[in-house]
Structure 1
Amino acid sequence: MADQAATLLEALPDLAGRSVLVVGCGDGRYPRLFRGKGARRVVGVDADQVLIAAAQREEERDPVGISYEVHQLSRLPVMGAFDIVLAFLDSSDHLGRLAAGLAMGGLLVAVATNGLTLEEGLRDNGFQDIVLHRHESGDVYSARKVT
């Protein structure tokens, strides 16, 4: 996991003062890391209520200002215009939904699991400046929202 965190941090710009949405946040490990790196606002969402409950308990135990919500990716509401969205994806079906949560010029960082290739889907959903960072647990794509 530490290696994946390093790959994600490599794909991300300086987080100081930025708003970050983490889709598939699990137990809150990455939201806490990003808040610690200076992100101004961090929201974590996951479909698993048990994992969100664990993340919320950690936030209650050691508050750092992260909010957590339970949402299925297929029904993810627009939760604001974030500077950065990090998402763990096993399909390119919801790239448009993720784009809706980004400010213009915002950065999507997507971890593609199960050998998924996202480049075509990213282009089809208005992303440019696509960069691929290889990682054994899932390739990490970063792409800028331009439309």
Structure 2
Amino acid sequence: MSDYQGHATGYQTAKRQPWRTYLEQPSALALLGDLSGSSVLDLGCGEGHYTRLLRQLGADQVLGVDLSSDMVELARAQEKSHPLGIDYRVCDAAELKLQTTFDLVFAGYLFNHARNREELRAQFSTICDLLRPGGRLVALNNNPDDPPSNFEAGRPYGYSKSIDGPLVEGAAIHYRFELEDGGVFELTDYYISREVMQTLMEDCGLQQVHWPQPVLAEEGVEARGADYWTAIMATPPFCLIEATRT
């Protein structure tokens, strides 16, 4: 798994880049829809950015889980200062065992931490165990269709990627985020193709898998102009995934 320990604040700051505000977040919220009365598990919740949004979408019960105690500490601090009734736990998503199931599991950039098929299968298996029959998985993930030839295209948006060799299964992809305070946040994730991901999901009991297109908020066009978004919309840095537990 990628090690975010000690990088929680940088990760939190990177969430405020304009492409996240006007492209990633509106896309995720549109896919999630109205969650009134739902029970929701946020796997790989980080510092709780999306966990709080899940609650604000109407979810009745929200549990956030992350491997990094630093991340969970930030999430709990936010919950303490602005209570929403969210519970947070420190645990590896692939090893989480609970006595309850959920209407929805949200996974924000969780699957790209898996270094191989076995780790990814373990994540999907856990999700299936924790979803009620008919429950939904909604996920954000690094775009597996983004070729290395495009890895520098994100620089105008505050990020770039690099790879040490060919783009093969399990290859490490290095991310660099230029933060608004002048700092830099770096992390490493891993490549697994869309086709392999979908096969593993279906093998674990996640069906009706589809990959919706991102949606750019009109506010983003107003704030930055239409031309600003041309390159990132051509090959977005993230993808959306939705599936149903059979």
Normalised TM-score (structure 1): 0.91
The answer as to 2:130 corresponding to 1:101 is: yes
* Residue of structure 1 in register with 2:67 after alignment: 47
Alignment partners' CA distance in 1, 2:44 and 2:207: 23
* Cα pair distance change 1:137/1:38, threshold 3 Å: same
Greater shift after overlay, 104-113 or 21-30? Answer: 104-113
Following superposition, the deviation at residue 80 of structure 1 comes to 1.8
* Residue of structure 1 in register with 2:141 after alignment: 112
Higher strand content, 1 or 2: 1
Amino acid at match of 2:102: F
Runs of 5+ consecutive residues of structure 1 not aligned to the other structure = none
The answer as to 2:147 corresponding to 1:68 is: no
Q: Map 1:101-140; keep pairs closer than 5 Å.
A: 101-113=130-142, 115=144, 116=192, 117=194, 118-134=197-213, 136-140=236-240
Higher helix content, 1 or 2: 2
Greater shift after overlay, 131-140 or 57-66? Answer: 131-140
CA contact (8 A) 1:59 1:65 kept: yes
* Residue of structure 2 in register with 1:89 after alignment: 111
Runs of 5+ consecutive residues of structure 2 not aligned to the other structure = 1-19, 115-119, 145-191, 215-235
Greater shift after overlay, 129-138 or 30-39? Answer: 129-138
* Cα pair distance change 1:23/1:48, threshold 3 Å: same
Alignment partners' CA distance in 2, 1:28 and 1:72: 16
Flag as ranges the 4+ runs of structure 1 deviating above 6 A. none
Percent identical among aligned pairs is: 31
CA contact (8 A) 2:33 2:57 kept: no
Following superposition, the deviation at residue 108 of structure 1 comes to 0.8
Q: Deviations over 1:32-74 (max 9, x none)?
A: 1111111100110111111100100110111110000001123
Q: Deviations over 1:91-141 (max 9, x none)?
A: 332201111110110001122336242211111111222120245232111
Following superposition, the deviation at residue 79 of structure 1 comes to 5.3
Amino acid at match of 1:131: H
User: What's the secondary structure of 2:237's corresponding residue?
Assistant: coil
* Residue of structure 1 in register with 2:156 after alignment: none
* Cα pair distance change 1:104/1:13, threshold 3 Å: farther
Query: What is the root-mean-square deviation of aligned Cα atoms in Å?
Result: 1.6
Alignment partners' CA distance in 2, 1:40 and 1:83: 11
Greater shift after overlay, 98-107 or 11-20? Answer: 11-20
Alignment partners' CA distance in 1, 2:33 and 2:138: 10
The answer as to 2:52 corresponding to 1:36 is: no
Normalised TM-score (structure 2): 0.56
* Residue of structure 2 in register with 1:142 after alignment: 242
The total of aligned residue pairs comes to 146
Which structure has the bigger radius of gyration? 2
Alignment partners' CA distance in 2, 1:119 and 1:142: 11
